[in-house]
Amino acid sequence: MENYDNLIEAINGLKEQGYVENFNLKENCLECRGNQYKIFHNEFEIDKAFRFEDDSTPDDSSILYAISSEKYKLKGIMINAYGIYTDVITDEMLNKLKFS
């Protein structure tokens, strides 16, 4: 598994690997392409995940997900903050996005 020093480097590396979509986290699905696609928890896989923490500001932390959907033939990324700023989502989405 590759290692990246920062979020921008990771985003660029994943885009070079074909993860070109930008997914947005909604309560019960992921959306992309201006809400054209709504992808539910059983329609995508987390291929890779990277955690980035800011040493000077612990609240400024995020997880970058590399996501693919065989059903829709899409590959993309999603960035999600964690800690007190995480979004309200369904249990199915929460379980799918758990960072191990």
Residue 53: Cβ within 10 Å count: 14
Q: What gap in Å lies between CA 97 and CA 99, rounded to an integer?
A: 6
What is the CA angle 81-50-29, rounded to 5? 55
Lowest average pLDDT, out of 24-38, 42-56, 59-73, 84-98, goes to: 84-98
pTM for this predicted structure? 0.86
β-strand partners of 48: 66
Whole-number pLDDT of residue 65: 95
pLDDT tens column, 40-67: 999 999 999 999 887 666 566 889 999 9
